[in-house]
Structures are given as structure tokens and as C-alpha cells.
Structure 1
Amino acid sequence: MSRYRRQAMLSAITLAVPLVMGPMRSAAEDTSFFEPFDRLTKDRWFISSGWTNGDHQSCLWHRDRVAVEDGKLLLSLTADAKDGHDLSCAEIQSRTRFGYGTYEARMKVPYARGMNANLFTFIGAPQDRPHNEIDFEFIAPRGPTLQTNFHTANNSKNEGFLEMADDGVFRSYAFIWEPDRIRWYIDGALIRDQRGGVLPDDPQKIYLSLWSTETLVEWMGAFDPESAPQTLVVDWLAYTELGAGCTFEGSVLCQDGVDVSQ
């Protein structure tokens, strides 16, 4: 999630995951799954709580901001004091690392100036690995905007921007990550196709989060606490290994014309 993520991740996160080394396809945890969020299982998900990712983040990660209700994951940003911070916010991260394949979620995204709602994959310094990352980031510095991006150890200037509607409806977001290509989709429509170049190649963890800033104003604007509470609502999330094809109804891989080769 932007070039700031490299500096943002804290070593405390490392305690939540085992170290997985080796080539992409040999990652032992590289298995497809569909998460309906009927509950938040501890063997799959870790809740970030008790720290921030740096001075740029104006809210504190706190487990109280993570909830599951009526088959939906709720990640909230609220104006209530937690451990010296006036705002508290939410993040979950997978305990497992995943490789090439399709990452997708159905979400209702909030927009506010100075706030970032996101779905992304990441591995980097906290896990003693080179920086690898692929992003969906929803921001509103001057209006609702989707920023897609990817990062490698020496390449973080790969942003793409798309104006969005702040209409409070669920949409399906997906990216297909292959060795020489990344494709981003919204409701099955291709919005960006990155072919070739230096792309991420290391298994990564999956993250969902909602956070705010008072300092990254050029990028996101400054968050107004009076705009809280805000909530990112996630209906489901899924990962499908490269080459597995259509594995559940609603997947982008079930659409005609979406080709994925192993």
C-alpha cells in the first residue's frame, strides 16, 4: 500500500507468521481458499493491535475495531481514545503466504479525505525478505479514487489511478498475479493490465485494513476526526492458485475471456 509501506511495517508483525523461504511454487502454504467471514479463524488470520505503522498513521491498530457480523467482516476507524491515540483503526493479515494466483474480495468501500481503505499483499523487511507488494488502495484526496500499485525491492513507482463512485454498494475486486503479468479487475471488468518488467515474485501475506493520516496530505489529504466513524465491509475474500481455474461462483476466473495459464 504505497511506497510508505516499506517504512511502515513493524517488527511486531513478524511474530505472527512463520518464515517461509524458497521458490514461489514450493511455498508449502500455497493453497486455494474461500473465506466467507462467518467467523474470523485464528489459524488463518492475525489481527493487528497495539501499534501503528509509523508517525504518518494517525490511528492505532486495535482489535476492537475488527468484528464479524451477519457474515460480513467489519473493519472500522473510530474517534475513540486507545493507548494515547484519539483514533483507532483496523487491520487483519493472513498468517500464511501465497504465491502466483488470483486474489479477490467483495467489499463495500468507504471514502474520506485522509483515509486509506485497502486490499493488498505484502512481504518485506519485517519477515527478512525483499519488498514485494500488490495493491488496491481506496483514497479520496480530492474525490473517491482507486490507486492500484505494485512494489519490488528496487521499483515502487508503479501507480495507476481510477476515479470511483462513492455510492455505498458492494463491488468485487480482483487481481491476477502471474510471473510476467498482473491484471486488476472491478466486477469482472479489466481496469489495468501490467505486462512484463520487474514484477513481484515472492510469496506474500494478504492484508485488509482501514487507516488515517494527518501528514501524508499530498497523497491522501488530512483526515478530519469528525468524519469518523468509517467502516470497510467485506463480504468474502478468496485466493485461487495459478492454474486452478473457476473454483467458486462469483470468481473473476469463472468469466468467459479471463485466461490464466500456469
Structure 2
Amino acid sequence: MVKGINTNRKQIKRLLAFCMLFAVLVLPKQSYAADVAFYEPLNAVNNNSFYVSDGWGNGSDFGVGWKASNVEFNNGIMALRLDDVGCPGGCSGKSFASGEYATKAKYGYGRVEGRIKVAKGSGLVTSLFTYSGETAGTANDEIDIEILGKDTTKLEANYFTNGVGDHSTIINLGFDASQGFHDYAFEWSPTYIKWFVDGNLVHTETGSRGPLPTHPGEIEVNLWSGAGNVWTGPFTYPGTPIRAYYDWIKYTPASDLPTDDGTGLTAKYYDNMNFTSLKATRTDATVNFDWGMGSPMPSMGMDEFSVRWTGKVKPQYTGAYTFYTSSDDGARLWVNNQLIIDKWIDQAETEWSGTINLTAGQKYDIKLEYYDNNEDAIAKLYWSSASQPKQIVPQNRLYPN
């Protein structure tokens, strides 16, 4: 009897050893702290670096099961679709199905960002986050960007360390995130987490409310509905599919981030169109303004005004950069003392562009002049390169005079 037990134990040990060897030879290796930057344009499933969640669901607070068929790609945009096709039997027992897309590797300190148009409606959550999963003796670490469909004018920033949360902060966006694409990001370091919207710093955590995360995590995006969850609000399926849209996802390791943060550009506001009646000087974090039929400040008229932004711009990558102005009315842009956009004309909102070669880490003079003649007043400054997706030139790359 004892001999039989010992024989069985030996057989079990051999079987376990074989299974472990099989896993090493066949299963993909997992990287626990990837330090390689990536820019994922979301043109199609990237099976080398990402996986699509399929055939399972989260806990009782989630009203969806994940299905690969609910992740769609079309014209350079990824859509996560929430519907009730085949549910609950084909949706992991959930009432609805939706999509989730995540990196295979886990990423450490650095900057995570994405360009997103969120889903609107009570009970919905559109997200971009990191998730470490559980390791021996620990619960999950997590850093969150979440926009609830019940109020798409607000972003919720949060983090979890060893499974402990309660660090939520609500941020007023100043726009409806369901009406268009915007850039959302967070930077994570041993001493802080910083959240950004369209390049502007909107919130910082330093660990004063609880220890910051330390474990690398998968970078994930998903769309889901709550199930009886007070936080999300009640969800009622409208009878047609719901979608959240993602233009791109990007990661920059801490080693590639700038060591000094820019604060914006020096802005001089004039109450006429020829830069002679100065009303105010201030630092603008970015050039991303839509004043509509109004004026930039109460001391100025609604029409016939001008603005001059000056300072330095520091690119992250070496190569050809394209700068874009979107304005109503006129705009002129100089970079490194070269006039690359010259559209000093009355116009409805129009985008113009110019290209210049820049070197990573070097600061270049930049000057943008703008005037409004009448009616709508819009002034925006974007950039892009082979390594940099098109975005509003962010605050941390701009330096005032």
C-alpha cells in the first residue's frame, strides 16, 4: 500500500516535470518589465504584441463577457463594440458582450497614452489602464484612466497598489469626450503619477494618499457596462450596438522621457489685429483654443484681436516634424526661425501644415501669430512625425520665454 503511494507520487512528479518543460518550450515567454517604446496605430490586430480577450468575463460588477469578434478595425481606427449577440450563452454567462485589447508584455515606469473617443450612456465605462495581475504574496497594481458614460465631461483618475484603491479623483474635461477624439495619458515613476489630457497636466499623485504602484502591468483598453453597479450608474441596452473608438496607443519608457518638464509658451494678447494694443501677457500650457463667438478674456473685444505665442519647443525624436495650424482666421508659424506656415488671411477653420527637420532633445525657437477678424475664433497647434502620432503640441515640450 505504501509502495503504491510512493509510485503514484513519482508518476505525478514526472508528469508535472513534463508539463513544465512543455510550457517552457511551447508557451510564449512573458516580459515582466518591457522598456521598449512602441506606437501602435491600431490598423489591425497586432498578434506579435497584443492579445484580444475572448471567451471569459470579469467579476460580478461587469455586465459583459469578452469576445474577439467585438474588437473591430476600420480605416486606422479600432472600435470596441458592446452588444447582446449570442448572450448570455455565448457571452460567458453575461447579458452582453464587448471588446478588450491588451499588450502581451508588462510595462514599467514611463508614459502610457492613447487617442480615444468614448462611449456615452449611463452604465458604460471606456478605459485605458495598466494591470499587473497578481504575483506571489501580492494583489494587483493598476493605474486607470476611466470615463463614465453617464457624464462624458469628466475623467476619473485612479490607482491601485497591492489591490488597495480609494485614490479616485474626478477631473472636469471642459468638453464632451464622446463627441470627438482626444489624447489621454499618464506618466508613472517611483515618486509620482501624472495624468494628462491633450498634453495638459490635469492631476498628480505623489503617494501622499497611499503607496504608489511598483509592479509592471499590461497596457489595456476596454469598454464595459456595469451590472447593478452604483458607481457606473444603471445600464439599459438601447437595442443597437454601442462603440468606443481608439485611434492609437503609445508607450514611452521613463528613460526616454524628458528630464525637465515644459510649462507652455509665452502668450501676448492684443485688442486689435496688428499687435499694438497689448492687453495681457501669460503662459499658455498649449495652443488649443476655440473661443467661438467670444473673446479670450473679459478685457478684450469678441472680434478683431490677435495673439502671439513665443518660446521654445523640444522634440522627443529626431526626424522630419510636420506642424499644423487649425485656425479661424489667420495664422503664421516659425520654427527655428523658419516661416513654415503663412496663411495670414480671413478664413473659416482651416488646417495648414509645414515640415522641418528637428533633433531629439534640442530646444528650438517657436513663434505662432494669430488674428481673429470676426465671428468664430479658433487657434490650435499640432505636430506629428514618423515616431510621433499627430497631437496638440503638449505642454511638457513647450518652454516660455
Structure 1, unpaired ranges of 5+: 1-15, 22-26
Name the CA shift for 1:129/1:241 in 2 (closer, same or farther; >3 Å).
Answer: same
Of residues 93, 96, 109, the one that matches 2:105 is 96
Q: Displacement of 1:153 after TM fit?
A: 1.0
The alignment status of 1:151 with 2:163, answered yes or no, reads: no
The alignment status of 1:237 with 2:249, answered yes or no, reads: yes
Q: Displacement of 1:45 after TM fit?
A: 0.9
Q: Displacement of 1:228 after TM fit?
A: 4.4
- Rounded to whole Å, the distance in 2 between the matches of 1:72 and 1:43 is 19
- Rounded to whole Å, the distance in 1 between the matches of 2:107 and 2:36 is 7
Structure 2, unpaired ranges of 5+: 1-26, 258-315, 318-386
Of residues 34, 38, 61, the one that matches 1:33 is 38
**Which stretch has the larger CA shift, 164-173 or 205-214?**
164-173
- Rounded to whole Å, the distance in 2 between the matches of 1:37 and 1:142 is 26
Counterpart position of 2:64 = 59
Name the CA shift for 1:251/1:172 in 2 (closer, same or farther; >3 Å).
Answer: same
Between structure 1 and structure 2, the one with the greater Rg is 2
- Rounded to whole Å, the distance in 1 between the matches of 2:119 and 2:188 is 26
- Rounded to whole Å, the distance in 1 between the matches of 2:137 and 2:124 is 29
What does 1:13-162 align with in structure 2 at a 5 Å threshold? 18-20=29-31, 27=33, 29-82=34-87, 83=90, 84-125=93-134, 130-141=139-150, 144-153=153-162, 155-162=164-171
Structure 2 length as normaliser, TM-score? Answer: 0.54
**CA offset digits 1:126-150 (Å, max 9, x no partner):** 7875421100011134664311101
Name the CA shift for 1:202/1:66 in 2 (closer, same or farther; >3 Å).
Answer: same
Return the letter of the residue paired with 1:177: W
Structure with the bigger percentage of strand: 2
Counterpart position of 2:347 = none
The answer to which structure, 1 or 2, has the higher relative contact order (CA under 8 A, 6+ apart) is 1
Whether the aligned pair in 1 keeps the contact of 2:39 and 2:249 (CA below 8 Å) is yes
- Rounded to whole Å, the distance in 1 between the matches of 2:48 and 2:178 is 34
Q: Displacement of 1:251 after TM fit?
A: 7.7
Q: Displacement of 1:166 after TM fit?
A: 4.7
Name the CA shift for 1:249/1:142 in 2 (closer, same or farther; >3 Å).
Answer: closer
- Secondary structure of the equivalent of 1:220? coil
Counterpart position of 2:183 = 172
Of residues 185, 194, 204, the one that matches 1:193 is 204
**Which stretch has the larger CA shift, 186-195 or 221-230?**
221-230
Return the letter of the residue paired with 2:132: I
- Rounded to whole Å, the distance in 2 between the matches of 1:131 and 1:250 is 31
Whether the aligned pair in 1 keeps the contact of 2:198 and 2:392 (CA below 8 Å) is no
Structure 1 length as normaliser, TM-score? Answer: 0.81
- Secondary structure of the equivalent of 2:171? strand
Whether the aligned pair in 2 keeps the contact of 1:17 and 1:95 (CA below 8 Å) is no
- Secondary structure of the equivalent of 1:88? strand
Percentage identity across paired residues of the two chains: 27
Counterpart position of 2:228 = 215
Return the letter of the residue paired with 2:235: F
Return the letter of the residue paired with 1:151: F
- Secondary structure of the equivalent of 1:243? helix
- Secondary structure of the equivalent of 2:185? strand
Whether the aligned pair in 2 keeps the contact of 1:80 and 1:86 (CA below 8 Å) is no
Q: Displacement of 1:155 after TM fit?
A: 3.2
The number of aligned residues is 237
Whether the aligned pair in 2 keeps the contact of 1:152 and 1:200 (CA below 8 Å) is yes
Counterpart position of 1:10 = none
**CA offset digits 1:30-51 (Å, max 9, x no partner):** 2100001122111111111111
- Rounded to whole Å, the distance in 1 between the matches of 2:119 and 2:136 is 30
The alignment's C-alpha RMSD in Å is: 2.6
- Rounded to whole Å, the distance in 1 between the matches of 2:207 and 2:177 is 33
- Rounded to whole Å, the distance in 1 between the matches of 2:108 and 2:393 is 20
After the TM superposition, which parts of structure 1 deviate over 6 Å for at least 4 consecutive aligned residues?
Answer: 251-254
**Which stretch has the larger CA shift, 195-204 or 168-177?**
195-204
